[in-house]
Amino acid sequence: MAKNPSLHAIAWLVAGILLLALAGCDLVQRGPTADFSISPVVVYAGETFELDGSVSLGSASIVSYNWAFSDGQDLVGQQVNASFPFPGTYSITLTIEDANGNLDNETHQVVVYARTGTVLLDEDFADGDMALARWVLDPTWASADDGEIDFILGAPGNALYVHSSATRWHRRYHAIELPPLRVGQKAVFSCRIMALRNQDLHTFLFAPARADLGSLVGSLPYYLFTNESGGSYVQVPTTLGTDIGHPIGYQLEVYRWHTYTFEYSQDSFELLIDGSSWFEGSLDNSPFSDTSVWMILIGEESLTETCNAYFDNIRVSIEE
């Protein structure tokens, strides 16, 4: 039987169209796709890490790799070494170009941590009035005459001496920038305090992380001693701008130094006094996922005008 010439022609036509389509795929090449890896995975401030753009893809060869950093750095090359001098969250953008002039870019966020053991603040008031100037007076509460740097013979030497001359608070604060915390790290705040409670109605506080002087919203738990209300408390701020006092059984000794330490992790905190744990609790707002600025607040109030307190060796560090 003779073949149908019309069907034969149609088959050749379809085959020709398919060949043209395949040739067209070769002629119209897709542009490149940028991507890169970071090594090591955990990056620390001041330490070198590697960026590798070889994982980028393209049907044509990639001829350039350009890196742009959110802190202003620029680098060129498929594989480069970089570093960030300070902790924080940064963005890195890789822009690639292929042999046909096609461009693509990819951006990754990088969290840069401080190494465990990094000391962020170590205040011993050794430089006298210069140290007093670093601890800013909260003028809402008291006058500058209520506090001075006093020298104590022997240890510890200079210390901040608060002696309210009226029935009011004397509060001072120091701003500090905290880096993001990686899993397992904690921000540790400590302060030595000696109370000279020779009368009743005496109160003092150590608030390591106050978000705002005028409001408790966003602030972290702090220590409060109030002789008027029965002793020692851990005060936990609420989202409403109030705080809830949790009494603890600790009784301080007058005319003796005690070290008060708060340890804050991403989701919890602990108060230690002279190295012993007195209170633990949870943090609901994960305050250390990025760089943040806090105010360390210290102060004393005497309703009888005769009670004093010393503050010394205020230290902030990153620990595990």
Report the CATH number that the domain containing residue 68 is assigned in CATH: 2.60.40.10
What pLDDT score does 198 carry?
63
Surface-to-core class of residue 9, CB atoms within 10 Å of its CB (0-12 exposed, 13-18 middle, 19+ buried): exposed
Domain count, the chain: 2
Q: b/e string for 250-283 if b means 16 or more Cβ within 10 A? A: bebeeeebeebbbbbbbeebbbbbeeeebbeeeb
147 and 209 share one domain: yes
Q: Please state the pTM of the whole predicted model.
A: 0.85
197 and 101 share one domain: no
User: For 161-212, what is each residue's pLDDT tens digit?
Assistant: 988 766 678 899 999 999 999 999 999 999 999 998 766 678 899 999 999 9
214 and 314 share one domain: yes
Residue 46 or 289, more confident: 46
Domain boundary among 113, 140, 166: 113
User: For 210-240, what is each residue's pLDDT tens digit?
Assistant: 999 889 999 999 999 988 778 999 999 999 9
Average pLDDT taken over every residue of the chain: 88
**Residue at 198 is within a domain:** yes
127 and 141 share one domain: yes
**Residue at 271 is within a domain:** yes
Map tokens 């007076």 to a residue.
Answer: 137
Q: Which pLDDT band, with edges at 50, 70 and 90, does 2 fall under?
A: very low
Instruction: Find the range with the poorest average confidence among 35-44, 146-155, 250-259.
Output: 146-155
**Residue at 140 is within a domain:** yes
164 and 244 share one domain: yes
- CA angle (162 as vertex; 157, 166 as ends), nearest 5: 155
Instruction: Find the range with the poorest average confidence among 139-148, 206-215, 270-279.
Output: 139-148
222 and 130 share one domain: yes
**Residue at 172 is within a domain:** yes
**Residue at 21 is within a domain:** no
**Residue at 8 is within a domain:** no
User: For 89-116, what is each residue's pLDDT tens digit?
Assistant: 999 999 999 999 999 999 999 999 999 9
Measured distance CA(114)–CA(121) in Å, rounded: 14
pLDDT above 80: residue 6: no
What pLDDT score does 284 carry?
81
Element (DSSP H or E) covering residue 170: strand 169-178
Instruction: Quote the percentage of the chain above a pLDDT of 70.
Output: 87
Q: Which pLDDT band, with edges at 50, 70 and 90, does 76 fall under?
A: very high
What pLDDT score does 156 carry?
82
pLDDT above 60: residue 314: yes
Report the CATH number that the domain containing residue 296 is assigned in CATH: 2.60.120.200
What pLDDT score does 16 carry?
46
106 and 123 share one domain: no
Record the tokens describing residue 245, joined without a space. 């006092």
pLDDT above 90: residue 145: no
Domain boundary among 87, 113, 139: 113
Q: Range of 217's domain?
A: 119-319
Contact assessment for residue 28 and residue 60, using Cβ atoms and an 8 Å cutoff: no
User: For 79-88, what is each residue's pLDDT tens digit?
Assistant: 999 999 999 9
Whether the CA torsion 243, 245, 251, 254 is positive or negative: it is: positive
Record the tokens describing residue 49, joined without a space. 């890490």
161 and 290 share one domain: yes
150 and 257 share one domain: yes
186 and 215 share one domain: yes
Domain boundary among 88, 113, 138: 113
**Residue at 11 is within a domain:** no
What pLDDT score does 65 carry?
98
**Residue at 61 is within a domain:** yes
What pLDDT score does 13 carry?
45
140 and 219 share one domain: yes
pLDDT above 50: residue 264: yes
Instruction: Please give the average per-residue pLDDT across 67-80, as a whole number.
Output: 97
Q: Are strands 43-44 and 103-113 parallel, antiparallel or unpaired?
A: parallel
54 and 194 share one domain: no
pLDDT above 50: residue 285: yes
Residue 16 or 186, more confident: 186
Q: Which pLDDT band, with edges at 50, 70 and 90, does 21 fall under?
A: very low
